[in-house]
Chains A and B, each alone.
Chain A
Amino acid sequence: VLIVSKLLKTIIVLLIPLFLALAWAGGEVRKKEAMTQRLGNISIDIEGVVPIDEHLYQGHRKDHPEETLYLAHSSHPSYGGPLKVAAVVDRQKQIQYLAILDSADTHSYLDKVVGLGILDQFTGKSIEQMPEVDGISGATFSSVAIINGVESAVQKIRSAKFGMPVMEKQEPAATPETFNIILICMFFLSALVITNKRFKPKRKARAVLLMLSVITLGFWLDIQFSISTVVSLLSGYWLKGMATYTASLCLVLAVIVFIVTKKNLFCTFICPFGAVQEGLGKITGCSPPKQKRWMDWIARTWVLIVLLAALYFQTPSDAMYEPFSMAFNFIGSGITYGLTILIVFASLAIKRPWCNLFCPVKSMFYYFRCARKIFEKQTKYQFVQIKKELEQ
């Protein structure tokens, strides 16, 4: 039974990357077919859309073939990956429609940005005098990507159809990417130092590091990787451009450190959401939950299903169900709000309820642990074989 169980585990570990690759490939095919269709769907008032140049199209108003419309789309890096914006301009050089065609960002952030009228500030304006629109704090990456996308799409129409010069580009809001990257590296470095055998005040140092993490990575910068970061990385959005790589770097560092040191330093020493739960648990001095094996397996299967679905539909933001943004930035749906409240109260009765019961990071590290064991055994076996051959 033990051998069969181990064999089954090995097969599952090897099959998971194959399934993920297949889901991603299916999603890529599905996505390519959709773009031209979306341009035609910006409004029922637009018809006869045909490509005339790269990312540039021409159409006309419904039932008015003489009223030519020029359409262009442009893609810019946003938080979750590229964000695609389309602009529709008439012959009088007026912006008639603006549309967000595709985005990998969390919908609640986009809802906020669009709800505050970022697109409406451009529509109806002449492309000869583009308005200066500022980014929106709390959703800086998405808003800057939209502004840049609109400007680039309009620029394509300006140059190609009206022979107008390149307009002065509005400088996007500076993002403290370098600072964030250094900060993340410092956190991992500190965690490594604390785990060193020679380092004595381990508990105090860990408490300080977790507190700092809540303040900086949580409330101040809202940096935390989630399952949507995993989807963005697996989808290859980091190759197409992302507005920030901090969460991805955090994920990559967590995995590398885990593979090298065999320790999950992120969850134990860095995760701000875990720190909040642990802090609440200290008030009552509660203990970890009592888990059944089936609960672990359901949680792992859940993560796999979510990853496969998000890779197939090419929507990393749809995979996001962790309440991090709600806990630290108060952004999310009503359900996420309810989930956050549940976790906060549960933390008073059970130590780290989310981390222990349902956090996808736990399932992810379980996979890496299994994969590493298989790889280690394989390497060990090969090493023994080579040694035997050399001795003969």
Chain B
Amino acid sequence: MKQTVSILLFLGFILLCGAEIFPKFIASATKDRGTVLYVSSAE
């Protein structure tokens, strides 16, 4: 029982952490390198 909970928890961590960071890395890999992070305009 404990082992099943541990494995499920481990998989949950992988899933959540993956969802947190991999979209950022994919965005870094695919976006235009000249992209500006934030812009504020007077207009």
Contact = CB atoms under 8 A, between A and B. Distances in A.
B5 A99 contact: no
A100 B37 CA distance: 6
B42 A94 contact: yes
A342 B42 contact: no
Contacts of B28: 313, 315, 318
Nearest to A90: B42
Contacts of B42: 94-97, 123-124
A335 B19 contact: yes
Contact of B37 (A94, A101, A120): A101
A354 to B, nearest CB: 7
A30 B26 CA distance: 15
Given A290-B3, A350-B2, A358 B17 contact: yes
Contacts of B21: 306, 318-321
A289 B20 CA distance: 24
Given A342-B12, A350-B2, A318 B25 contact: yes
Interface stretch (A40-48, A133-141, A175-183, A213-221): A40-48
Interface string B1-38: 01101110110111011011100110011001111111
Secondary structure call for the B interface: helix
Contacts of B24: 107, 315, 318
Interface stretch (A10-18, A31-39, A157-165, A258-266): A31-39
A358 B36 contact: no
Contacts of A310: 25
B34 A97 contact: no
A306 to B, nearest CB: 6
Among B17, B25, B39, chain A packs the most CB atoms within 10 A around the CB of B39
Interface residues of B, number: 31
B6 A38 contact: no
Interface string A304-339: 001001100101001111000000000001011011
B1 to A, nearest CB: 9
Interface residues of A, number: 59
Contacts of A370: none
Centre residue among B19, B20, B25 by max chain A CB count within 10 A: B20
Contacts of B25: 309-310, 313, 318
Nearest to B19: A335
Interface in A295-310: 295, 298-299, 302, 306, 309-310
A34 B32 CA distance: 9
Given A33-B33, A353-B9, A338 B2 contact: no
Most buried by A among B5, B13, B19: B13
A202 to B, nearest CB: 27
A98 B7 contact: no
A86 B38 CA distance: 10
Contact of A42 (B3, B29, B39): B39
Contact of B40 (A97, A102, A319, A336): A97
Contact of A34 (B2, B14, B34, B40): B34
Contact of B7 (A41, A100, A102, A295): A295
A335 B23 CA distance: 12
B10 A357 contact: yes
Q: Which of B37, B38, B40 has the most CB of A within 10 A?
A: B40
A3 B21 CA distance: 37
- Going nearest first, the 10 A-B pairs with the smallest beta carbon separation are A37-B34, A119-B40, A289-B6, A124-B42, A313-B28, A34-B33, A318-B24, A321-B17, A290-B3, A358-B13
30 contacts: A41-B32, A41-B35, A97-B40, A98-B39, A99-B38, A100-B38, A107-B24, A119-B38, A119-B40, A123-B40, A287-B2, A289-B2, A289-B6, A289-B10, A290-B2, A290-B3, A313-B28, A318-B21, A318-B24, A318-B25, A318-B28, A319-B21, A321-B20, A335-B16, A335-B19, A342-B16, A349-B5, A350-B5, A350-B6, A354-B13
